[in-house]
Amino acid sequence: MITEGQIKQWKDSKIIGIIGLGDMGLLYAREFSKTGWRVVACDKEEHYEELKALHADLPFEIVANGHLVSRISDFVIYSVEAESISKIVSLYGPSSKVGAIIGGQTSCKNPEIAAFEKYLPSDTEIITVHSLHGPKVSTEGQPLVLIKHRCYHEESFQFVHAVMSCLKSKFVYLDYEEHDRITADTQAVTHAAFLSMGAAWAKMKVYPWNMGLEKWYGGLENAKVNISLRIYSNKWHVYAGLAITNPAAHQQILQYATSATELFTIMLSHDKAKLVERLRKAKDFVFGSHKGLLLLDDKLLDKFSFSGSFDTTQSEPLPNSHLSLLAIVDSWYQLGINPYDHMICSTPLFRVFLGVSEYLFLTPELLEKTIDAAINCESFRRDDLEFVVSAREWSSIVGFANFELYRRQFEQVQKFFEPMFPKANKVGNEMLKTIASHSR
């Protein structure tokens, strides 16, 4: 048990280093220094003067480069793009202080650990971390993975534990291989689905919240729109790193695109019996043992619309085929993944996606209504076609492991939705708070 006296002694004598002042690196630097830890941080050397002036009022020190961070820090966190982790560690790792603890916060740990093992001095310890949420979400109560990979002294792990405790997150203890498998299960397909939704709307040049009761109206639609825009308001490399550097993610994103394609093909053939049978198998596998309350309620999400309210007594919203949700449950079934197995490591976005999928499949008569719309209603045919094309495009980009193509595709859609990001983040934050409260 770590005493307050021991923590005070560490705060007086230890230095926390952060290499990379992107959104998450900056979040860590702020939170650590705010609670009394001495923090030294850097970003690219050409940004030194600009960052120093920009963050002059914050209680941590900004230095010119990673050498200056590494040589004095007792615990260094590399907060850099997954694509660049090996290059950055090779550059600054050899400057690590003797006996320092080194970690990172990339979303795929295999290349991170490989870089640490290759370039760090053998006297350093490797205890790495991953906050399973984005920079715009409160850290309190969110999962935080701690990975004790190379630890010579138990006190070192206790020290890291004490530092990370200021985030008030829920600790999850894994090895790096478990981490990568679980993050692929909980994040890869979730991101692919929302990226595909946004890309489909952008290609059609449609802001879905402007469609009134004709389309994209109601709680489930609000969740889709809000989360898609939330992803596109962040930086592309956050999602590219997880998708491209994690081999398990490749298989899952490919399966999601395959499920969307095959389900859409059945819809076009108007073979209701075949669609019912396929979705029944998926439902039984994923939700067969479900008991108790649902994670979400459609009515809970009704107020989180960008478009305001409409008089639903005059006409009913058009029924949606919900292809994106049908495909996620089908892909979980095809891959043999039980999404409830990894709730301890779930991100806010994953819990939303699981919640809306669960609501669709387990609400009496809603799945039947959706299947009927998928077979008999043409209202969402073009939307579904664009969605399938987008899902296959993202799958191809990830399969080719092409970061530049990923960036171009992401930023093209991002530019289309950019005017709505301030409102999207505000509404999205309120929605996630409400969902978190309901889930508890």
Say yes or no: 194 and 88 in one domain.
Answer: no
Burial profile 198-237: b = 16 or more Cβ within 10 angstroms, e = fewer:
bbbbbbeebbbbeeebebbbbbbbbbbbbbbbbbbbbbbb
- pLDDT tens column, 3-22: 999 999 999 999 999 999 99
Say yes or no: 252 and 350 in one domain.
Answer: yes
Count the neighbouring beta carbons within 10 Å of the beta carbon of residue 254: 20
Say yes or no: 156 and 296 in one domain.
Answer: no
- Which residues neighbour 391 within 8 Å (Cβ) at sequence distance 6 or greater? 192, 193, 196, 256, 257, 260, 261, 327
Say yes or no: 210 and 163 in one domain.
Answer: no
Rounded distance, CA 407 to CA 195, Å?
A: 12
Say yes or no: 127 and 236 in one domain.
Answer: no
- Which of 76-80, 373-377, 421-425 is the most confident on average? 76-80
- pLDDT tens column, 140-150: 999 999 999 99
Say yes or no: 69 and 195 in one domain.
Answer: no
Phi, psi of 42 (to 5 degrees): -150, 165
CA distances to 167, 212, 301, 302, 425 from 431, rounded to whole Å, are 21, 20, 7, 10, 10
Say yes or no: 191 and 169 in one domain.
Answer: no
CB-count exposure of residue 270 (10 Å: 0-12, 13-18, 19+): exposed
The larger pLDDT score, comparing residue 153 to residue 213, is at: 153
Q: Looking only at Cα atoms, what is the longest distance across the chain?
A: 72
Q: Which of 151, 174, 197 delimits the end of a domain?
A: 174
pLDDT band of 440, cuts 50, 70, 90: low
CATH of the domain at 58: 3.40.50.720
- Which of 2-11, 112-121, 243-252, 338-347 is the most confident on average? 112-121
In the predicted model, is pLDDT for residue 216 greater than 90? Answer: no
pLDDT given at position 71: 97
Say yes or no: 127 and 202 in one domain.
Answer: no
Phi, psi of 130 (to 5 degrees): -160, 115
Identify the bridge partners of residue 150 per DSSP, sorted by sequence position. Answer: 126
pLDDT given at position 14: 98
Which domain covers residue 303, as residue numbers? 180-439
Report the pLDDT averaged over residues 125-143.
91
pTM for this model (two decimals): 0.86
Among 269-278, 295-304, 375-384, the minimum mean pLDDT is found in 295-304
Report the pLDDT averaged over residues 275-297.
87
Say yes or no: 104 and 216 in one domain.
Answer: no
Cβ–Cβ < 8 Å for 268, 135: no
Per-chain mean pLDDT for the chain: 90
Rounded distance, CA 279 to CA 282, Å?
A: 5
Q: Which of 133, 159, 174 delimits the end of a domain?
A: 174
Say yes or no: 48 and 66 in one domain.
Answer: yes
Total domains in the fold of the chain: 2
Q: Which of 155, 174, 193 delimits the end of a domain?
A: 174
Report the pLDDT averaged over residues 381-404.
96
Say yes or no: 375 and 253 in one domain.
Answer: yes
Nearest Cα residue to 170 out of 201, 209, 142: 142
- Which of 214-223, 258-267, 370-379, 414-423 is the most confident on average? 258-267
pLDDT band of 306, cuts 50, 70, 90: low
- Which residues neighbour 239 within 8 Å (Cβ) at sequence distance 6 or greater? 191, 195, 231, 406, 410
Count the neighbouring beta carbons within 10 Å of the beta carbon of residue 67: 17
Say yes or no: 254 and 131 in one domain.
Answer: no
